[in-house]
Amino acid sequence: MNSFTISARRLLASLGALTLCAMCDAANVDYFADNGYGNPVSTMQHPAAEHFNGVTYVAYSGPHEDPYIAAYVHATGQWIGPVQAGINTMGKSPDQVDAGELDNHGRPALVVDRQGYIHLVFGAHGGDPSFGENKFGTPGKGRLTHVVSQKPGDITAWKTLENISPFGTYTQWVKLANGDLYLFYRHGSHRSDWVYQKSTDDGRTFTPEVSVIKHKQSAGKPTVDDSWYAWFDNGNGDTITASYVYHPCANPGHSNLRINTYYMLMDCRDGSWTNVQREQLTLPVTKESADKLTLIQATGTEKSQHGTCHVDADGRPHVYFRFPHGGVRYFRWDGKAWLQPTTVADASGGGHDGDFIIDSPLKIRMLLDQNQEGTGAVGWWNTNDGGRTWARGANVFSLKDAGFEVTTLVRNAHPDARMLVAGKMSDQEHLYHHMYLIGDHGALGRPEAEASHLGDRLELIKAMAKGSPKKDAKRKKKAGLNDDEP
């Protein structure tokens, strides 16, 4: 079994640096690290962070697109790390300066098991064909990799567990109250099924893949494959929700078109799936059965993108989807029908991604990023009437001449640490970004010397020539980077 461990010399040097910084009167910065690389986080790979036993653990893509993890101890206000937790085989050296050279699909998803061990899954955009036959779809690049901390709560040493499929991308953890872990992901590149693997022993072993949503040639359209983008999360009790959009994927070729909105529910007691009316579904769900039984709204030619989904105390789903030209739209099931969707934040300013909290069936708080006249901001949007009207609330964090990439809410979040955010300055000439952990009182920063982890990387990058915007766009399209980006 492979292992990945920080050398004793490197660890001691890091701890020594932390001690020296704690003794000096260093100025604090809002970010906890400066080595987020490319598009370090997304709401698609989730959760990226979890609060467990007084510590918030956060994961993101760092140098070489490798997974990095840091920990914030709330009682002492101390940051630990970040440290590298594994190797992403899709990473390139030296550091790239063209966004089109990066893949970004290998971002890590994080979960803490009931014993306190930390798990990351990362590193693939489909999985390389050399791993054999992909029985649930088409291969792509990289290897889906699962690592676990060697000790509970300790981020300094990791080992690889070869107990999941090497094919996959868009990894998503769901943890039930009894500790069972479900790992959902798309089993390959664009034309692949969405599957899950289940673990009842804290991620040490997993069941074989179960196909949930099926890819196939579209009925009557030989050059189009039915494909999907899905988002899974806890429902009430022993249930898991799925909200998703349809992707008519050109074959051969690829497009980033996505349309329609869908919802369904899993009963983990027997593995059965139903629609919102609790009608039984046959797995894997096809385009035909999805349109008939799980459709929320047919959007026609208007492009739709995934958002997040949660259920209220009555078990009724609330979900938002993103519309590039229509902003964030919120949908709610009232027990009899899906209510007419309402716009939370319009399309102006770009951005608009995040997550939400249900305080009651009628009171919801949504935390979204948005550009406000050149200033990147993450702030609240609130409704007290079940989403019929929304009002802009206070900003949690903002940054001038910048934009943000955000994650979903931290699992079991502490109010001081609700969301992991990557900041992108508008005028920078490299692909490294500051990482922030933000909560009700702003960002949890640290002394600048502790937050600096790039060394001389930026000096080396300056010597590399950057491609033209047109060339970058071509590379990005070829790499499929628009899959989960607006």
How do 3-5 and 272-274 pair as beta strands?
Answer: unpaired
DSSP character string of 233-245 = EE-SSSEEEEEEE
Angle at CA 329, nearest 5°, toward 38 and 424? 20
Give strand pairing partners of 196: 184, 210
Question: What tokens appear for 38 in the block?
Answer: 């490319």
Question: What tokens appear for 219 in the block?
Answer: 């009925």
Question: What tokens appear for 103 in the block?
Answer: 């893949």
CA atoms within 13 A on the CB side of 483: 27
Query: Cα 359 to chain center, whole Å?
Result: 23
Give strand pairing partners of 122: 145
Contact 322, 352 (CB under 8 A): yes
Angle at CA 175, nearest 5°, toward 173 and 177? 170
Query: What whole-number distance in Å separates Cα of residue 332 and Cα of residue 364?
Result: 11
Angle at CA 32, nearest 5°, toward 26 and 37? 130
What DSSP state is assigned to residue 468?
Answer: P
Contact 48, 172 (CB under 8 A): no
Question: What tokens appear for 6 in the block?
Answer: 């920080």
Q: Write the Ramachandran bin of 142: left for phi over 0, alpha for psi from -120 to 50, otherwise beta.
A: left
* Known catalytic residue at 247: no
Query: What whole-number distance in Å separates Cα of residue 21 and Cα of residue 129?
Result: 47
- What is the C-alpha R_g of the chain? 21
Backbone angles phi, psi at 61, to 5 degrees: -85, 130
DSSP character string of 23-34 = HTTPPEES-SEE
CA atoms within 13 A on the CB side of 348: 6
Query: What whole-number distance in Å separates Cα of residue 295 and Cα of residue 267?
Result: 19
Query: What whole-number distance in Å separates Cα of residue 339 and Cα of residue 259?
Result: 19
* Active-site hit among 46, 51, 105, 119: 105
* Known catalytic residue at 320: no
Q: Which of 29, 35, 85 is nearest to 461 (CA)?
A: 35
Q: Letter for the amino acid at 423?
A: G
Query: What whole-number distance in Å separates Cα of residue 116 and Cα of residue 110?
Result: 12
* Active-site hit among 170, 182, 262, 330: 170
Q: Which residues are catalytic?
A: 105, 170
